[in-house]
Structure 1
């Protein structure tokens, strides 16, 4: 007997329904995979675009900051063409004049802040020892350091756990050469002291190349190096720059300070201890004005004698000058809530071949 299957048989309909369900599930799976892949691709594209935008912004900021440094160099070169002194009364030391110079740089959006300071207005740490021999104290520099540290220590509300004599002797031991086993005085430090620290390191027995090295010297605790509150730290008062030739490929450091640009703490160190309180008067004398015009000439090393109360004071001519060849330029570019800073130290010099004044870069640090 032949039985004919009906078209709408429940058994046949179930198979078709199952096929349709599987197809729908496969379709949903494919869509889900494609959607996931699409979202991942979108994230990668967006990340790449964002990265490219950030990279572009960083390049723009870097070029803007570099332009600020170049503008400052132009100011310094023009200044040298006009005179051979360097004081706080000149355009390069006037923030408004510097800003006017920077405004001449064409760029779309953002701003640049440039600050120029005289590295000669600081104490040359390497001059504490007589180079090129590099083994003995410079007497004038040691007295300068004694006065400096006495003032720095006095500015702290609580006396730092250190000692000026220890610092001076340890600085000398760090600088001197050829006597690795002989400490200076009773409080100096050579390699055996530093090798017992954690982490350990050796005494350099040579000039400081970077200011941060000063913080490694025995007695120079963080508070003294960086400063606390109103107390200026050694980092803001010292420089490692100022090397000059001494013949036969040797070098020396004259340690002379530009009295026309030095800050109050350095001025106080230059003065006899009993007259250190006149440092503020010297600083005010340099920038005194009448009708926006400076009234006191400070373009020679003897100008300090014109300050009321300082006529009888004599500062060693081995310590002071009224000119400079070393400057620090800090240029900060700002754009779209991002910043980029270049910290550069330049040396102004005349090219032997062309006779042109240039600014040679000694340090170029991006921050």
Structure 2
């Protein structure tokens, strides 16, 4: 965070790299759940150990139903050789709540919107929020991904493997995935190399979130923007 004095007030600016996080809106594309992202979200929720708050498979299914435009609830999660029955949640579920509201059936605009989705609570959001972004791509930056996001990439990326990657990149950023060949177990390296070859894993970032907090006397305003530096596209702007 950087603070700048402005007149009688100040402006603080924070920049976050979003390419090290799972992009929620990439979970459903062209109204279809993307298998790669279904796997990642299920693994992330599992790795974070949120079972005491909600079932990882049910969370994944509810999120898919919130994003897609279909009326049928998601009924089974297929991931890592598992077929897990789920209930999902579409319009009927949300209209049946004490304070009824519609199912979004479209992309999220903010992380806080997750609180409207079946199974997502404030306590849960506190745990999963640092690993998620609203906008982004399916390509994860291995240099900025958390240990939990690294573990979401493939079932063979264990906590120990994730810790090895993080320890390695602390000395200097990873420039090429091939650097990890002699560091990691064969299965883990092969999985990461395959993701890299398919453009699902990289070593640089292009999508960032900028938050500017302006304070003057007793008043304050917050501006949040998300930008893609690849083509200087403004993905989101919000003023509170």
Question: What is the TM-score when the length of structure 2 is the normalising length?
Answer: 0.77
Q: Indicate which of 48, 51, 55 corresponds to 1:163.
A: 55
Query: 2:93 — aligned with what?
Result: 193
Contact 1:160 1:224 in 2 (8 A): no
Alpha-carbon distance, 1:344 to partner = 2.4
Query: 2:115 — aligned with what?
Result: 215
Aligned length: 225
Change (3 A) 1:299 1:360: same
Query: 1:277 — aligned with what?
Result: 160
Deviations 1:127-152 (A, max 9, x none): 223x22x13x3222222112101111
2:198 is aligned with 1:298 = no
Query: 1:116 — aligned with what?
Result: 15
Paired residue secondary structure (2:72): coil
Change (3 A) 1:106 1:149: closer
1:1-367 map, 5 Å: 113-129=12-28, 131-132=29-30, 134-135=31-32, 137-153=33-49, 159-177=51-69, 179-185=70-76, 186-226=86-126, 233-242=127-136, 254-273=137-156, 275-288=158-171, 294=172, 297-305=173-181, 308-313=183-188, 314-315=191-192, 316-317=195-196, 318=198, 319-332=200-213, 341-350=222-231, 359-366=232-239
Contact 2:25 2:108 in 1 (8 A): yes
Instruction: Using CA pairs under 8 Å that are at least 6 residues apart, name the structure with larger relative contact order, 1 or 2.
Output: 2
Paired residue secondary structure (2:162): helix
Alpha-carbon distance, 1:326 to partner = 1.2
Contact 1:162 1:221 in 2 (8 A): no
Change (3 A) 1:192 1:279: same
Change (3 A) 1:218 1:365: same
2: CA distance between counterparts of 1:337 and 1:209? 28
2: CA distance between counterparts of 1:311 and 1:109? 59
Larger radius of gyration: 1
Paired residue secondary structure (1:343): strand
2: CA distance between counterparts of 1:241 and 1:167? 19
Moved more, 339-348 or 162-171: 339-348
* Greater helix fraction, Structure 1 or Structure 2: 1
Structure 1: give runs of 5+ residues left out of the alignment.
Answer: 1-94, 227-232, 243-253, 289-293, 351-358
* Greater strand fraction, Structure 1 or Structure 2: 2
Alpha-carbon distance, 1:339 to partner = 6.0
